Amino acid sequence: MSYIPEYALIMQSDRTILLEVHSPTAAKAREAIAQLLLTRYK
């Protein structure tokens, strides 16, 4: 698998998600994760 620094999210084989905080799209990705968790665990 290749590393692309513009991609803020990294999905691992154990289904955990890593957020690359130095990516230019990190803030947008963080918001998307938050929305997903808020709707999933209401």
Q: How many angstroms separate the CA atoms of 33 and 28, rounded?
A: 9
How far is C-alpha 21 from the chain's CA centre?
A: 9
pLDDT in tens, 23-37: 899 999 999 999 988
Residue 1: the pLDDT is 64
Q: Are 5 and 15 in contact (CB under 8 A)?
A: no
Residue 31: the pLDDT is 94
Higher pLDDT, 42 or 30: 30
Q: How many angstroms separate the CA atoms of 4 and 8, rounded?
A: 9
pLDDT at 22 over 70: yes
Of all residues in the chain, what percent carry a pLDDT higher than 90?
26
Ordered by start, the domain boundaries in the chain are 9-40
**What integer is the mean pLDDT of 2-11?**
80
